[in-house]
Structure 1
Amino acid sequence: MSTLSERMKEARVQAGLSQAELAKQLGAGQSTIASIENGRNQSSGRLVEIAQLLQVNPTWLASGQGPRKAQAAIDSVDASDQIVVWEKLSDLPPDENRTWIDRYDLLCSAGTGIIQWEIRQKQALPFTIDFFKAIGSKPEHCRLASARGNSMEPFLFDRDMIMIDISKTTVRDGNVYAVCFEDETLVKQLFKQAGGALMLHSYNAKYPDRIVPASEETSFQVIGQVIYRSGSGLPGV
């Protein structure tokens, strides 16, 4: 069986993209693509996004299992069978591969010098178990929330849906995280700086980078890594 590195390079080459071109469409640095293809970042949380850009099946890209093409699994099925309109859970047919992820409003609150984040549950949405295998996350660690504002355009547009893995709080350069900073919930690309500081980078050039010194640990908290997004935003635009 091929490795993730081999599958990644194969799909990228067949898509006619260089590492730099794919990274630009992903909204990341070329090092993100290079690290996966060189075998240094086999658990990247961006495999689903990369698979979408390369038009391949995320499960195939992550594990080598299943059909290679994203559409291969549904080519032989009538398109009318792919859409299920439902109002309540009982309307849906049973599916052992389905899991539900709760939706939340995220709020940061400060109390006695300790930053806390509070959640307000909304209607859950369904995902497949294979989806979580492909991105290397566990359903119980994931939360859905809506992005606010335009500081991360074109990676995220206002009210786009994001999935946050709250178990992934260790910062890796170039990844996007939900953070709480000075009682405000933010979604930013993070970069490590000298002396333990962090740079909060917005994709929208209208918003300047913000530096969080290591001494600001009482007013800064990583909530989790953004591992999936869905909405009106067009990756790489």
Structure 2
Amino acid sequence: MFMTTENSGDRLRLLMTKRGITPKVMADALAISPQALNNWLSRGVPGKNLHRVCTTLSVRPEWLMEGEGEMDLLYTSPQLLSAIRQDQIIPNLENATLLGPIDAWDDDTPLDKDEVYVPFLKEVELSAGSGRTVVEQSHKQKLRFGRLTLRRQGVQPEDAVCVTVSGNSMEPVLPDKSTVGVDQGCTTITDGKMYAVDHDGQLRVKTLYRLPGGGIRMRSFNRDEHPDEEYTAQEMVDQNIHIKGKVFWSSVLW
């Protein structure tokens, strides 16, 4: 685990130092000018660029944004590899491994022996026009996951589900229509981690914190528009709030 630093620019600098990545390689990989990189290192990574930086560098957004948890570099992105090759510098990537090759597939492609289907959770209206919904598993929508990917995250295949993020509350980390993988086998709250929540039939993805007496605080990344929400243990019962599981994976399309 890394020591918390002042801002995302400091953490970006820490990552460069730890991995032996030069400013030129970093700027090329992020497709920005050296001056822009210097500004980011001094002032922090702009929010609108946060997800691109995390994707390129394969770091957890909560680590880069807040300094919380593990940096968790799991692989080297094609952008960073390209910049490294052009600069002819091989940084110290330690336990990073290249994921590949990438194969095209569709719904008719049979599963490999090391793959599993992971279903989606969805909101289903109880009756026409009532406005009441319940969270159920979709029998049609699903994604493929490698068993190794799940195993690395400590997720049992039968506990894995996917959830689609709605709205802008988790921007810039998770824009509207992002997809997250959820471990239903992990519902115990670790402060500062992201979880999928069933809030009286509404699917929500939030960063959670424990409160005394069994309550929770729900926190959004977009706190300007979505302030913290706090619920006591009794309010969780009254409002039918259930933690579905911990987020272990995310995918974003821009």
* Interval containing the TM-score (normalised by the shorter chain): 0.5 to 0.7
TM-score, scaled relative to structure 1 = 0.64
Residues of 2 paired with 1:53 and 1:191: CA distance? 31
Residues of 2 paired with 1:174 and 1:83: CA distance? 35
Say whether the 8 Å CA contact 1:108–1:184 is kept in structure 2. Answer: no
Identical-pair percentage: 21
Aligned to 2:62: 27
- Consecutive aligned runs of 4 or more in structure 1 exceeding 4 Å deviation: 9-12, 15-18, 52-56
Q: Establish whether residue 156 from structure 1 lines up as the match of residue 193 from structure 2.
A: no
Aligned to 1:223: 244
Say whether the 8 Å CA contact 1:15–1:54 is kept in structure 2. Answer: no
User: Match for 2:117 among 96, 100, 116?
Assistant: 100
TM-score, scaled relative to structure 2 = 0.60
Which 5+ residue runs of structure 1 have no aligned equivalent?
37-46, 57-66, 110-114
Residues 95-121 of structure 1 show CA distances to partners (whole Å, capped at 9, x for unaligned) of: 221221123314597xxxxx9632232
Q: Which amino acid aligns with 1:13?
A: K
Change in 2 beyond 3 A, CA 1:99/1:230: same
Residues of 2 paired with 1:179 and 1:152: CA distance? 14
Which 5+ residue runs of structure 2 have no aligned equivalent?
3-13, 27-40, 46-53, 81-93, 127-132
Say whether the 8 Å CA contact 2:123–2:134 is kept in structure 1. Answer: no
Q: Which amino acid aligns with 2:207?
A: Q
**Bigger relative CO (Cα 8 Å, ≥ 6 apart):** 1
Deviation (angstroms), 1:30:
2.7
Residues of 2 paired with 1:105 and 1:136: CA distance? 24
How many pairs align?
A: 186
Q: Which moved more, 1:155-164 or 1:213-222?
A: 213-222
User: Match for 2:106 among 62, 83, 86?
Assistant: 86
Aligned to 1:212: 231
